[in-house]
Amino acid sequence: MNFNGITNGVSTKRVLITGGAGYLGSTLVPMLLQRGYEVVVYDKFMWGAGSLLSHAGNPHLEIVRGDILDKKLLARWMSDCDAIIHLAAIVGYPACEKFRDEAVEVCLLRNIPHTSSLLQVLKFLRVKDKPRE
Ligand SMILES: NC(=O)c1ccc[n+]([C@@H]2O[C@H](COP(=O)([O-])OP(=O)(O)OC[C@H]3O[C@@H](n4cnc5c(N)ncnc54)[C@H](O)[C@@H]3O)[C@@H](O)[C@H]2O)c1
């Protein structure tokens, strides 16, 4: 796996994954660690953090409990990352069934603000960004 394409040839070292404790994230995290990346998982652990327990002692992995709607906390963790993989979401029928009353609001309304929130933080950081080596 090579993320150079995402960053226009700039070497990518530290990757933040929103929703990194989920189904896709928990597969992606060990793949990135194995390839020498530093990984920050930023997740509110709606389904727990068990998927990451076997990697919890890895010095190249930071696990952060946070909501992506919390722009201040998100900005703090995004600021020193080279790439962001945005997986945080409420996904699938079982989740919608479990949170039946929230499902429409969460899936139709909140997922859009989630992404919008992330983009706003990125825009803010880009303005303040200093060239990296
Ligand atoms: N699973 C698949 O086969 C598949 C296929 C194609 C696309 N996708 C997409 O990939 C993304 C991730 O899917 P998944 O299957 O890993 O989902 P998942 O439900 O397993 O994981 C989502 C993670 O996001 C976290 N999360 C939810 N809201 C959050 C918030 N406000 N702040 C921080 N974290 C939050 C949850 O705690 C969870 O750990 C989704 O956008 C999904 O549509 C998944």
Domain-located, residue 8: no
**Burial class for 43, CB neighbours closer than 10 Å (0-12, 13-18, 19+):** buried
User: Which residues contact ligand 1 via a Cβ below 6 A?
Assistant: 18-19, 21-25, 43-47, 67-69, 87-91, 114
Domain-located, residue 3: no
Domain-located, residue 133: no
Domain-located, residue 66: yes
Number of folded domains that form the chain: 1
Domain-located, residue 1: no
CATH of the domain at 74: 3.40.50.720
pTM of the model: 0.82
* Range(s) of the domain holding residue 116: 14-128
Please say whether the dihedral angle defined by the alpha carbons of residues 93, 88, 24 and 48, taken in this order, is positive or negative: negative
Domain-located, residue 5: no
Tens digit of each residue's pLDDT (9 = 90 or more) over 26-78: 999 999 999 999 999 999 998 899 999 999 899 999 999 998 878 889 889 99
Q: How far is the CA of 43 from the centre of ligand 1 (A)?
A: 10
Q: Atom 5, ligand 1: which residue's CA is nearest?
A: 24
